[in-house]
């Protein structure tokens, strides 16, 4: 591996920081729009505003680093964007909402199903002790793993695999987020959710009404499910 001279490495790092700084006003505007939307949707979500740590994470993570180059100019618009292979990076408001519903604490271990570009995993990494994320589409899994490493998220482990069955070796999990719509809640994920844990998952058929669900597991293992609001996600692949 070629080692850069310290002066050159410092110059390149500074250039990268300057480039990121140019996106700061756009990221701040995105966060303000998320806050406005949370107020509008309070009757559906039960959340007039999202937790301060969640909003701080949204303000820190460089979304433009998680989209293809031709989508960079649109990175901070409050909408999903294509990332290739028929997949998308979720709308920032939805990322913030799902993260807020999960109520991630600094000591938590979190499982994400559907790594995509790695953006949701990076947001979770700002809040949790450890994040395990799975992607079934190999090119996306490879790209996301490399991106997460390059951006320094040392508390994230990414792997290629069928997320329907989860990642039992590291469970049970304090929170599970699924970023693709399932036809039903996968039983293996319920089994890997810790007592007292929370799962956020969109459920519904493609091109039909889907709903974001919040599933909470009580200490005795019983489940409660709340329908949060209608959403549109790409389908969860694998399993059955």
Q: Which two tokens stand for residue 162?
A: 């069928």
- Determine the 3-state secondary structure of 189 from DSSP: helix
- Is 90 among the catalytic positions? yes
**Complete DSSP assignment for 1-65:** -PPPPHHHHHHHHHHHHHHHHTTHHHHHHHHHHHHHHHHHTHHHHS-SS--HHHHHHHHHS-GGG
Q: Annotated catalytic residue: which of 38, 90, 107, 222?
A: 90
Q: Which two tokens stand for residue 5?
A: 């001279």
Contacts of 62 (CB under 8 A, 6+ apart): 20, 23, 27, 151
User: Is there a contact between 158 and 140 (Cβ–Cβ < 8 Å)?
Assistant: no
Give the C-alpha separation, 157 to 110, whole Å: 11
Please give the positions annotated as active site.
90
């Amino acid at each position: 591996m070629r080692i850069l001279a310290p002066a050159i490495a410092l110059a390149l790092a500074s250039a990268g920081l300057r480039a990121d700084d140019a996106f700061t006003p756009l990221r701040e505007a995105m966060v303000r729009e998320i806050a406005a939307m949370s107020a509008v949707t309070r009757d559906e979500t039960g959340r007039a505003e999202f937790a301060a740590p969640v909003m701080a994470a949204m303000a820190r993570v460089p979304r433009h680093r998680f989209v293809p180059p031709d989508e960079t100019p649109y990175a901070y618009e409050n909408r999903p964007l294509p990332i290739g292979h028929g997949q998308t990076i979720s709308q920032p408001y939805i990322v913030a909402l799902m993260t807020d519903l999960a109520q991630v604490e600094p000591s938590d271990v979190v499982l994400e199903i559907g790594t995509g570009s790695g953006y949701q995993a990076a947001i979770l990494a700002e809040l949790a002790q450890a994040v395990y994320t799975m992607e079934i589409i190999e090119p996306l899994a490879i790209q996301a793993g490399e991106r997460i490493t390059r951006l320094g998220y040392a508390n994230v482990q990414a792997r290629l695999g069928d997320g329907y069955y989860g990642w039992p070796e590291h469970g049970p999990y304090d929170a599970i987020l699924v970023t693709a719509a399932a036809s039903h809640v996968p039983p293996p994920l319920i089994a890997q959710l810790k007592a007292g844990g929370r799962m956020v998952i969109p459920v519904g058929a493609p091109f039909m009404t889907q709903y974001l669900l919040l599933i909470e597991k009580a200490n005795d293992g019983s489940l409660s499910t709340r329908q949060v609001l209608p959403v549109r996600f790409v389908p969860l692949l694998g399993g059955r």
